[in-house]
Amino acid sequence: MTKLRTKLSVWLAVLLLALPKLAAAQGPPAPAGGGAVANLPALTSCAIAGEYVFTGVTVAAPGQQVGGTITFTSPSCGASGTATLSVQIAAAGAAPILYSTTFPFLITGTTVNIGGVLTAEMTGITGSIVTAMGISGSTAGLRIAGTLTARELPAGPDGATGAVGNTGPVGATGATGPAGTAGVVGASGAQGPSGQTGSTGVSGATGPSGATGATGAPMRQTAPRWTIPATAAEEKNPLPVNAATLAGGKRLYDQKCQNCHGAAGKGDGPDADTKYADTMDLTQAARAARNSDGQVFYKIWNGRLNPKMPAQSADMTRDQVWAVVAYVQSLRQK
């Protein structure tokens, strides 16, 4: 059983590291689930906003089941948003392995590209809401295929009937559903993200509890100075610099960087050290020559003690740091 868990963990690591390069070389993986709905019009991200139940298998080893949820968040009803995956992979007789992360997604026509890792194709729609999708993702040694089915919340009970009279009082409003439970604290590292807030019941229904936050990665020590490999200047961003990548990078920048570097990257955030305001300004074109993609990546990844810049290697994946690099470099080009 230990060997099987180790093998599944290795496959998950290979999936995360290899998919961006494979997507660029091979194009997005073919959709599962039997094809798209005929004559379905191009949709906005609001058409898939919400939680979907994910069921499937690993194609290379059909005995391994994949299950969980994928929640799509659409802040502006455009073509892009974020997709939060919380799935498990398990073989018969083995303990399941939990995989939880967040990717940007981009809709093109009726196809959803989830962070260059998974591709979903619309297979069912009711009105303007997508109710089902076929989903798949590939690596050289592992392919996941399955279906997404929209989860519907039950309607709450009607309010109480008003008393009989000339003008009876209005029935009482149903109670609001409780908030979702908070995410657990990551072991020996950064705190996992809070669980999603439970949805408010319709007309009084109790909303479901939020999903538990993922366990944090081990904390890395911040170096006294910049720790940048000699080859960093030659490293290029492996992610495509498109709307989905920039949107995901901005969200991470707002969470991790804005307090010091400021909302517009001018080095004027509430926690900024005024003695180093000039070096904290990310918009200066004159600094572009000594801040290539690779050099900016390792500054974010390793951090330094003075002037203080926390290392993000314990809080973000490499792909998430590359997304922040793409967004930061876009500020310097304005």
Q: Write out the two tokens for 65.
A: 């089941």
Q: Give the containing element (helix H, strand E) for 202.
A: none
pLDDT (tens digit per residue) in 316-326:
999 999 999 99
pLDDT of residue 212: 44
Lowest mean pLDDT among 21-30, 120-129, 136-145, 291-300: 21-30
More confident residue, 287 or 7: 287
Find residue 5's DSSP bridge partners: none
30 touches 118 (CB < 8 A) = no
The torsion region of residue 262 among left (phi > 0), alpha (psi -120 to 50) and beta comes to: left
Q: Write out the two tokens for 175.
A: 């109670």
According to DSSP H, which parts of the chain are helical? Answer: 2-26, 243-256, 258-261, 277-280, 293-302, 318-332
pLDDT of residue 191: 47
> What is the pLDDT confidence band of residue 274, given thresholds at 50, 70 and 90?
confident
pLDDT of residue 299: 92
> What is the pLDDT confidence band of residue 171, given thresholds at 50, 70 and 90?
low
Q: Show the domains of the chain with their CATH numbers.
A: 2-150 (2.40.128), 232-332 (1.10.760.10)
pLDDT of residue 251: 96
Residue 334: strand, helix, or coil: coil
252 touches 320 (CB < 8 A) = yes
The arithmetic mean of pLDDT across residues 58-82, rounded, is 85
In Å, how far are 59, 100, 128, 184, 283 from 132, measured between CA atoms? 20, 21, 12, 31, 43
Task: Determine the Cα–Cα distance for residues 281 and 332; give it in Å rounded to an integer.
Answer: 9
DSSP codes of every residue in 89-119: EE-TTS--EEEEEEEEEEEETTEEEETTTEE
Task: Determine the Cα–Cα distance for residues 274 and 229; give it in Å rounded to an integer.
Answer: 29
Radius of gyration of the chain measured on its C-alpha atoms? 23
Task: Determine the Cα–Cα distance for residues 16 and 235; give it in Å rounded to an integer.
Answer: 19
In Å, how far are 3, 68, 112, 221, 300 from 89, measured between CA atoms? 15, 9, 22, 32, 32
Task: Determine the Cα–Cα distance for residues 226 and 247; give it in Å rounded to an integer.
Answer: 27
pLDDT of residue 182: 57
Lowest mean pLDDT among 55-59, 131-135, 170-174, 234-238: 170-174
Looking at beta carbons, which pairs linking 295-299 to residues 24 or more positions away fall under 8 Å? 295/228, 295/232, 295/233, 296/325, 296/328, 296/329, 297/232, 297/235, 297/237, 297/321, 297/322, 297/325, 298/226, 298/227, 298/228, 298/229, 298/232, 299/226, 299/228
Instruction: Tell me which residue has tokens 């083995």.
Output: 94
pTM: 0.38
pLDDT of residue 125: 87
Query: Positive or negative CA dihedral for 63, 111, 78, 255?
Result: positive
The arithmetic mean of pLDDT across residues 294-314, rounded, is 90
pLDDT (tens digit per residue) in 123-150:
888 877 889 999 988 744 568 888 989 9
Q: Write out the two tokens for 256.
A: 């991790």
